[in-house]
């Protein structure tokens, strides 16, 4: 592999994200980021990393592998996920993921009274979810269980935080809060050639040190280059698929003269592009399980495409 030109790793890659937020020596970075996002709603002083791979109660149930899974000093659970590719049923996936930290709290003791510790699902999205329920003027969305008539919280033990990083467009001069700076770093650190002057906090000294590629040993460098290549392949394939969908949607819309035709064409084009992404990833040597995790397509669907 060739020499990397960037000074810092991309935190949007699987390797970069897990190196910064998913390792014990860097747990203070994760704590600082989460506290900046919660902004006083929740204060974390320490975290303990938990097993990130889970299998359902029945062998046939789908496996779940989290990017980062941990608990704080009060036993509250946190799943933190970086999602680069749009998935049709991503909301369902995040709900499915929430079932694991909920179920595993049940002890074998029959006297358990069902009291649960809080579970937080933090989804960092490198795409626009285009969710009608979200405030279009914000990129951080807080979802919970509430009464739909009174809008009062029904149960505060399950919270979803969706952060649309792709829509974060502040420049360095516009950064005000610590959270702003974290989002800027998440999106842009690999494009920087030095630590910005405004990033004076001690936590960012450590972040930029840990993200500096020159500090990597040969094994780490090889793993990062593989991860970066996979990330770029996915993003390029997705961009191609979206453009395919737009072109096909425009063509069908013009031909049919109806908005339904345009929408249908876009959807069909994106689905075709999604299939092309899967086949391209398989051709590049990625195994079916990995492709399934990255694209949200089931193993059975992927095997059908191979035939």
Q: What is the mean pLDDT of each run of 10 residues along the chain (307 residues)?
A: 78 95 96 96 94 56 76 95 86 93 84 90 92 94 96 96 96 96 97 95 97 95 92 77 64 52 51 72 74 75 79
End-to-end CA distance of the chain: 32
Q: From its phi and psi, is residue 285 left (phi > 0), alpha (psi between -120 and 50) or beta? A: left
**How many Cβ atoms are within 10 Å of 243's Cβ, its own excluded?**
13
Q: What pTM did the predictor assign? A: 0.77
Give the 3-state DSSP-derived string for the chain, with helices as H, strands as E and coil as C.
Answer: CCCCCCCECCCCCHHHHHHHHCCHHHHHHHHHHHHHHHCCCCCCCCEEECCCEECCCCCCCCCEECCEEEEECCCCEEEEEEECCCCCCHHHHHHHHHHHHHHCCCCCCCCCCCCCCCEEEEEEECCCCCCCCCCCCCCEEEEEEECCCCCCEEEEEEEEEEEEHHHCCCCHHHCCCHHHHHHHHHHHHHHCCCCCCCCCCHHHHHHHHHHEHHHCCHHHHHHHHHHHHHHHHHHHHHHHHHHHHHHHHHHHHHHHCCHHHHHHHHHHHHHHHHHHHHHHHHHCCCCHHHHHHHHCCCHHHHHHHHC
For 70, 74, 222, 298, the CA distances from 53, given in Å and listed in that order, are 12, 22, 24, 17
Q: Which of 139, 144, 111 is nearest to 127 (CA)?
A: 139
Alpha carbons within 13 angstroms on the beta-carbon side of residue 45 total: 3
Check residue 257 and give its pLDDT. Answer: 46
Check residue 271 and give its pLDDT. Answer: 64
Check residue 58 and give its pLDDT. Answer: 42
Check residue 116 and give its pLDDT. Answer: 93
Residues 172 and 197: beta-carbon distance below 8 Å: no
- C-alpha 63/C-alpha 56 separation (Å) is 6
Check residue 241 and give its pLDDT. Answer: 67
């Amino acid at each position: 592999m060739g020499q990397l030109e960037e000074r810092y790793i991309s935190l949007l890659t699987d390797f970069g994200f897990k190196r910064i937020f998913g390792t014990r020596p860097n747990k203070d970075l994760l704590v600082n980021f989460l506290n900046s996002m919660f902004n006083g709603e929740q204060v974390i002083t320490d975290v303990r990393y938990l097993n990130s791979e889970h299998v359902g109660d029945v062998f046939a149930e789908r496996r779940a592998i989290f990017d980062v899974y941990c608990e704080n000093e009060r036993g509250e659970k946190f799943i933190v996920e970086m999602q680069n590719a749009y998935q049709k049923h991503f909301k369902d996936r995040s709900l499915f993921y929430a079932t694991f930290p909920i179920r595993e709290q049940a002890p074998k003791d029959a006297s358990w009274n069902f009291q649960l510790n809080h579970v937080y699902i933090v989804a960092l999205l490198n795409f626009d979810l285009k969710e009608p329920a979200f405030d279009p003027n914000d990129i951080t969305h807080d979802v919970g269980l509430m009464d739909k008539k009174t809008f009062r919280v029904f149960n505060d033990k399950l919270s979803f935080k969706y952060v649309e990083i792709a829509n974060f467009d502040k420049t360095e001069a516009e950064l005000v809060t610590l959270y702003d700076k974290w989002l800027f770093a998440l999106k842009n650190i690999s494009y920087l050639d030095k630590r910005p002057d405004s990033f004076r906090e001690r936590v960012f000294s450590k972040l930029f040190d840990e993200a500096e590629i020159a500090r990597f040993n040969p094994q780490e460098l090889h793993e990062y280059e593989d991860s970066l290549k996979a990330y770029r392949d996915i993003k390029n394939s997705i961009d191609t698929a979206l453009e395919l969908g737009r072109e096909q949607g425009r063509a069908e819309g013009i031909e049919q003269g109806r908005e339904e035709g345009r929408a249908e064409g876009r959807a069909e084009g994106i689905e075709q592009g999604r299939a092309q992404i899967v086949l391209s990833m398989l051709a590049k040597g990625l195994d079916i399980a990995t492709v399934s995790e990255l694209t949200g397509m089931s193993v059975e669907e992927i095997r059908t495409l191979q035939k």
